[in-house]
Chains A and B, each alone.
Chain A
Amino acid sequence: MMTDDWVIAADDLTKVYRMGELEVPALRGVSVRVRRGEVISIMGPSGSGKSTLMNILGCLDRPTTGTYALDEERVSDLRDDQLAAIRNRKVGFVFQSFNLLGRQTALANVELPMRYAGVTGERRTRAQAALESVGLGDRLTHRPNELSGGQQQRVAIARALVNNPSIILADEPTGNLDSKSGEEIMRILLALNATRGTTLIFVTHDQAIAGRTQRVIRLLDGLVDPGNGRTPGGAA
């Protein structure tokens, strides 16, 4: 692994929210670097700026100051629609509450990112392949309410990886699942990293999840906690 192949290179990120007259700093100078193929987790108590950092790393939001390059492309000052295109191509999201479109089939849900990417011809086959890779080849036309929580999260993972993103951001991916389904989801995500080399970033409270990642970034009060910045990470 090349030491300078940073998929994420964020330097001195700050984020200040304005609440009327009040300025609330959420990030106060955070630098994060992630190598391609790495599996890391971001931890921190609520209010630590964890969600803000995830939003910026996922290109959902822009930092107030600082620079951020995703996959060697500087994205910290792109316009909304350009950010949308970056999210579409380079970021896969897995949310705690799955966020599937309830009226659509599993296939249609997985096809959604490709629709916004303008993919037309191979949409169905790629969506089907993605669902098969998470073990849902026999649930293609099921709707979310016909699937278990674990299965729904697997559809979400298929949706996240269908555009071959540079990173997959998983925000408490097992938070709404029982331990058995949670374990299955972790296994699928880590297998993605092992087989495809997909960079995984977990945002979590769960020490058990963090323990299975190669590196943990701990945030405290909008700063990276230097004492716990790196744990000798043993991948699962």
Chain B
Amino acid sequence: MNFIQSALEALESLSSNKLRSGLTVLGIVIGVGAVIAMLAIGRGAQDAITGSIGSIGTNLLFVFEGGSDEVRSPKPLTLGDAEAIGDPFQAPSVVGVAPILQGGVEVTFQREGTFTQGSGVTPAYETVRNVTLSEGEFIREEHMLGRSAVAVLGPDTAETLFGRTQGIVGETIRIEGQPFRVIGVTEAKGGSGFTNEDDRVLIPLTTAETRLLRRGRGEVDMVIAQAFSADAVGQAQQEITGILQSRHRTPIGEDDFTVFTQQNFIATAQSITGVLTIFLGGIAAISLLVGGIGIMNIMLVSVTERTREIGLRKALGARRRDILIQFLAESSLLSLMGGLIGIALGWGLSTVVGFIARASNADLNPAVSLDAVLLATLFSAAVGLFFGLYPAKRASDLEPVEALRYE
């Protein structure tokens, strides 16, 4: 009995009970479809998050105050630290530095008000963070020097306060009750990722320091540095670490600051979405398992129904192996068909989810990957073999005499 013949015979046998075979296949279809769709959606989420991290700038390093838990009373980051990092002699790999003060602020315009993130920034922020303006201009050096009460709004904030994102330059808003003149509005970057870049208000660092977000003299919350190329990020990280270690005079191994690279963020986000994907895929795999049990169930019924046929085949000279192959061929064919249709279903589901995401303006584009398809195919074939093995074994173990007598 060759392979093609077994497959044809299995197909014939399965097609003699189409409804039953169809329902059994459905279990596998749903399982495989769910696995593929979940993996695709997970992949899409990963791409979206990676993309949004990428969109905040390129080759960035983020310096925060505080190191590991054991380090007590860390020294705060200061403008002096930022200047040192920006010094081309001390840190040749760094091309731009943007110290930042951050805090939640209440912003009002006439009767409209909102609570959003206020950031005190320097003019360098514009290039380092790749900010583009839809109208007006960004904070300039003279605003810094004059501690001017000027603000650049994110488009979502502008929309909340004014009901529009155009023609806002020149209006006066109040931040924490103090009047600020709007000098620019940033372009929408798409509201996703871990912070919403479109809902914020940017003001000169000096203004923030003296009037809004009071800290110790010269202290900043975060320093963003930009390396001159992607390859220089590691080098820049070492330079910044060296500068801060000497400036803060930290003991070896007890840095009181943390330098994150964009790659670190991406890696962290990917490991989170990776866990999420595995979780979703795992839940979907349970339905595949249930489908496999469905196959086993139906094959057991089939073996019982066809006891006489098995007895006859054995009487005519079928060996155990022949019977085993016959029933394994049927269960494998069931799961293989389920797998193929399931791949189509999973692909369809992913596409539908992509459509819905786009319709609701979410930045999620599910991607069916080849490895997910291969995984699902292999897994479903394995399910068919595994769950088909027991019924097939039972069929092949039947005693011919008793099987022939079976009513």
Is A215 engaged at the interface, CB distance under 8 Å to the other chain?
no
Is B1 engaged at the interface, CB distance under 8 Å to the other chain?
yes
Check A113–B401 contact: CB distance below 8 A.
no
A52 to chain B, nearest CB (A): 9
Decide: A116 near B404, CB < 8 A? Known: A101-B309, A103-B12, A103-B13.
Answer: no
- Interface centre among A58, A61, A93, A116, by most chain B C-beta atoms within 10 angstroms, is A116
Surface stretch bound by B, among A42-50, A81-89, A178-186, A216-224: A81-89
Is A159 engaged at the interface, CB distance under 8 Å to the other chain?
yes
Measured between beta carbons, the chain B residues less than 8 angstroms from A116 are: 1, 313, 316-319, 322
Measured between beta carbons, the chain A residues less than 8 angstroms from B316 are: 87-88, 93, 112-113, 116, 159
Is B312 engaged at the interface, CB distance under 8 Å to the other chain?
yes
8 Å CB contact of A85 from B5, B317, B404: B317
Q: Would you list which residues of chain A between 72 and 91 have a CB under 8 Å from chain B?
A: 80-81, 84-85, 87-89
Decide: A103 near B317, CB < 8 A? Known: A55-B401, A60-B400, A115-B1.
Answer: no
Is A117 engaged at the interface, CB distance under 8 Å to the other chain?
yes
- Interface centre among B308, B312, B316, by most chain A C-beta atoms within 10 angstroms, is B316
Measured between beta carbons, the chain A residues less than 8 angstroms from B321 are: 81
Look across to chain B and name the residue whose beta carbon is closest to the beta carbon of A116: B317
B393 to chain A, nearest CB (A): 14
Is B320 engaged at the interface, CB distance under 8 Å to the other chain?
yes
Is B356 engaged at the interface, CB distance under 8 Å to the other chain?
no
CA distance A142 to B313 in the complex (A): 20
Measured between beta carbons, the chain A residues less than 8 angstroms from B400 are: 60-61
Is B200 engaged at the interface, CB distance under 8 Å to the other chain?
no
Check A85–B319 contact: CB distance below 8 A.
yes
Is A99 engaged at the interface, CB distance under 8 Å to the other chain?
yes
Tell me if B's interface is mostly helix, strand, loop or mixed: helix
Check A61–B318 contact: CB distance below 8 A.
no
Decide: A112 near B313, CB < 8 A? Known: A55-B401, A60-B400, A103-B12.
Answer: yes
Tell me if A's interface is mostly helix, strand, loop or mixed: helix
Check A80–B313 contact: CB distance below 8 A.
no
Is B357 engaged at the interface, CB distance under 8 Å to the other chain?
no
Decide: A60 near B320, CB < 8 A? Known: A99-B308, A101-B309, A116-B1.
Answer: no
Look across to chain B and name the residue whose beta carbon is closest to the beta carbon of A54: B401
Look across to chain B and name the residue whose beta carbon is closest to the beta carbon of A118: B1
- Interface centre among B308, B319, B321, by most chain A C-beta atoms within 10 angstroms, is B319
Closest 9 CB pairs of A and B: A88-B317, A116-B317, A81-B319, A113-B316, A99-B312, A84-B319, A60-B400, A60-B401, A55-B401
Residues of B at the A interface (CB closer than 8 Å) are 1, 5, 12-13, 16, 308-309, 312-322, 399-401, 404
Residues of A at the B interface (CB closer than 8 Å) are 55, 58, 60-61, 80-81, 84-85, 87-89, 93, 95, 99, 101, 103, 112-113, 115-117, 159, 163
List, sorted by A's number, 29 A–B pairs whose CB atoms are closer than 8 Å: A58-B315, A60-B315, A60-B400, A60-B401, A61-B399, A61-B400, A80-B320, A81-B321, A84-B318, A85-B319, A87-B315, A87-B317, A88-B316, A88-B317, A89-B317, A93-B316, A99-B315, A101-B309, A103-B13, A103-B16, A112-B313, A112-B316, A115-B1, A115-B5, A116-B313, A116-B318, A116-B319, A117-B317, A159-B316
Having A87-B316, A89-B317, one finds 7 other A-B pairs with CB under 8 Å, namely A58-B315, A60-B400, A101-B309, A113-B317, A115-B5, A116-B316, A159-B316
